Amino acid sequence: MRSELFFILDGAVKTAQAEASLPKVELPPWELTPSKEESHGDYASNVALVSAPYFKMSPRKIAEILVEHLDDTNNMIEKVEIAGPGFINFFIREERWLMELAGIPEAGDDWGRINLGQGEKVQVEFVSANPTGPLHIGHARGAVIGDVIANILASAGYDVWREYYINDAGNQMQTLGRSVFYRYRELGGEKLVFPENCYQGEYVRELAKEIWEREGGKFLSQPEEEAINFFADYSGQKILEGIRADLKAFGVEFDCYFSERELYRQGAVEVLLQELTEKNFIYEEDGSRWFRSTLYGDDKDRVVVRRTGEPTYFAADLAYHLNKLSRGFKKLIDIWGADHHGYVPRIKAGLRALGYKEDTLRVILVQLVNLLRDGVPVAMSTRSGEFVTLREVLDEVGKDAARYNFLMRRSDSHLDFDLEVAKRQSMENPVYYVQYAHARICSILRMAEERGIETTGCIEKSSYRLHLPEERALIKAAVRFPEIVEGAALMLEPHRVTFYLNEVAGLFHSYYNRYRVLGENEEETQARLFLINALRVVFRNGLTLLGVSAPERM
RNA sequence: GGGCGAUUAGCUCAGGUGGAUAGAGCGUUGGCCUCCGAAGCCAAAGGCCCCGGGUUCGAGUCCCGGAUCGCCCA
């Protein structure tokens, strides 16, 4: 609807220019937005205001000319007003709104699906935690945000690929191996001081026990370095299995887990270095090889190969991004913890040096989560082994509440996650507010069926036009859903969907308390059933986008 | 010492990429179940949008400077 109106208004500009009623100059971008206030109609445009300096005319005069040139072929406009400094306010005909509403149940699960992406291949990389321990709550936020961004992009018509990158070539995996190996030796009766820089968590003991039970004490006699390799591989794999299972329970699944070792196996780092060298972006200094990232906005050049001949983590990471692009993805989206923000300029510099456009890679920084219990911070550290795992949170508060909580703030703002609050079934916990709206609608529909009222009718059957202000507001809100998906997809902001759903739920609850859907008047009942049926679709599709269930009873 | 992000109601936060009279929840106070689900609704109170400049028809939003907090790098 908005795009149709936009087309009409844009057409008016062009016609007026063709007729020389307006000067033929290029216009800056202008807007057509849903009006905030009812007296301003349904949609408002600032085109006359924005174009005034370009046309060198007064905004109101421009508005008048544009209004004269509107070609409303489908007869959707009730009236047009020029208001304030020069806004053009559009009032849409009631019939048109009902038509839009009717499109919602018709579209069903596809309501909210748009073709913004036009099938473009996009990769979302997220979580990417090293398998040195179970996922904790800090990872959970990034997991949900990545997952929902992927959902939104898919709904917006992109061809989405979800990937988890495993940094398994570095020494963290060796540390894990050593940690488990030491615990294993303890099981063999050895008294040793467990190193402080090893992983302290209970899961390390469990892995050691597992190996002991399967393999016995045979590694006690092996050289440490050899044994550690086995322990690292075994433990990493086991932990990764656990991570996968936890993520799955959290509603997050990946198309691919990509290993850093695989990257080396393919020689990707060499290819990268060669390419950078050919393009003259590499120089040597102090025995190290440096990449001139400052040429592309980084604040200093970066080492890519150390004196030892070993590529840096940065080199591998850049090679990985190049690898992604070589697989045909047109856009890359990385979800990172905000503590890695310093990394953004250098990776972007690398991609630009290799000839990719600035916006090829978009990095979403996710701020850390403060975990609280009844307002008291819960201390966490992977190394010390003190952390609340994702699994524990899931078991305690459930998937829906956990996910919804992570989606209630912008990614880049700090988030307090209170375990006790997340368990409460009140408005402190808006997930239930939205789910309740859905369940309520389902309940009404059930009741209607029990009473033998037709619930799947079409709006044309009823003479009742849903003309109440509350009904108009609900229709508009429901019709706006695809625009919300579009905005969330463009800005990569999942929280927009969350806020939207809260808003629509609020409108609905309010409406429900004030008016009866199943009332005395049959025509009215039919029309209202039609309305809430459309709302049910909006709630279900919206919640599905968030990976949250839409229960029919609660 | 440099960089990134933040600062909006008592608290936690939204405010499509500059639009008309700044919003929501929690909390506080007072109301609403004989009736489709009270996990809900209605009403009231609550604001120097951190401070100071600038850009323009118009700034919570953009630019510059400063303050405070968080993080990253030296």
Q: Is residue A501 part of a domain?
A: yes
CA dist A271 and A129 (Å) reads: 25
Residue nearest to nucleotide B58 (CA to C1'): A85
User: Which residue, A213, A229, A245, sits at the end of a domain?
Assistant: A229
The answer to whether residue A289 scores a pLDDT higher than 80 is yes
Q: In angstroms, how far is B43 C1' from A433 CA? A: 21
DSSP state at residue A251: T
A338 pLDDT tier (thresholds 50, 70, 90) = confident
The residue ranking higher by pLDDT, A184 or A31, is A184
**Residues A536, A442 contacting (CB under 8 angstroms):** yes
Residue nearest to nucleotide B42 (CA to C1'): A510
Specify the pLDDT at position A380. 64
Angle between helices A344-353 and A313-326 (to 10 degrees): 50
Q: In angstroms, how far is B2 C1' from A316 CA? A: 26
CATH number for position A51: 3.30.1360.70
CATH number for position A474: 1.10.730.10
Nucleotides of B under 7 A from a protein CB: 2-7, 12-17, 19-21, 24-27, 32, 35-42, 56-58, 70-73
Going across the sheet that includes A376-377, the strands are A376-377, A369-373, A415-418
Q: How many CB atoms lie within 10 A of CB A369?
A: 21
Q: Is residue A523 part of a domain?
A: yes
Q: What is the mean pLDDT of residues A389-402?
A: 90
Q: How many CB atoms lie within 10 A of CB A317?
A: 21
Specify the pLDDT at position A386. 64
Domain count along chain A: 3
Scanning every strand, the nucleotide with its C1' closest to A51's CA turns out to be: B57
Specify the pLDDT at position A176. 93
Q: Is residue A436 part of a domain?
A: yes
Q: How many CB atoms lie within 10 A of CB A475?
A: 20
User: Which residue, A92, A110, A136, sits at the end of a domain?
Assistant: A92
Q: Is residue A76 part of a domain?
A: yes
Q: In angstroms, how far is B59 C1' from A366 CA? A: 28
**Tens digit of each residue's pLDDT (9 = 90 or more) over A403-433:** 999 999 888 888 888 888 888 776 668 899 9
Residue nearest to nucleotide B37 (CA to C1'): A440
Residue nearest to nucleotide B73 (CA to C1'): A342
Q: Look up the domain containing A205 and give its range.
A: 171-229
Closest to A249 measured CA to CA, from A132, A396, A407: A396
CA dist A120 and A510 (Å) reads: 41
Q: Is residue A419 part of a domain?
A: no
Q: What is the mean pLDDT of residues A246-262?
A: 95
Q: Is residue A355 part of a domain?
A: no
Residue nearest to nucleotide B6 (CA to C1'): A413
Scanning every strand, the nucleotide with its C1' closest to A36's CA turns out to be: B20
Specify the pLDDT at position A74. 87
Structure tokens, A155 = 């709904």
For A54, the 3-state DSSP assignment is helix
Specify the pLDDT at position A172. 87
Q: Is residue A256 part of a domain?
A: no
Residues A433 and A535 in one domain: yes
pTM: 0.93
Buried b (16+ CB within 10 A) or exposed e, A256-283: ebbbbeebeeeebbeebbebbeeeebbe
User: Which residue, A92, A116, A146, sits at the end of a domain?
Assistant: A92
DSSP state at residue A398: -
A382 pLDDT tier (thresholds 50, 70, 90) = low
Q: What is the mean pLDDT of residues A377-386?
A: 63
| Residue A364 buriedness (CB in 10 A; 0-12 / 13-18 / 19+) | buried
Mean pLDDT computed over every residue of chain A: 90
Q: What is the mean pLDDT of residues A261-277?
A: 93
**Strands A43-45 and A32-34: what pairing?**
antiparallel
Q: Is residue A276 part of a domain?
A: no
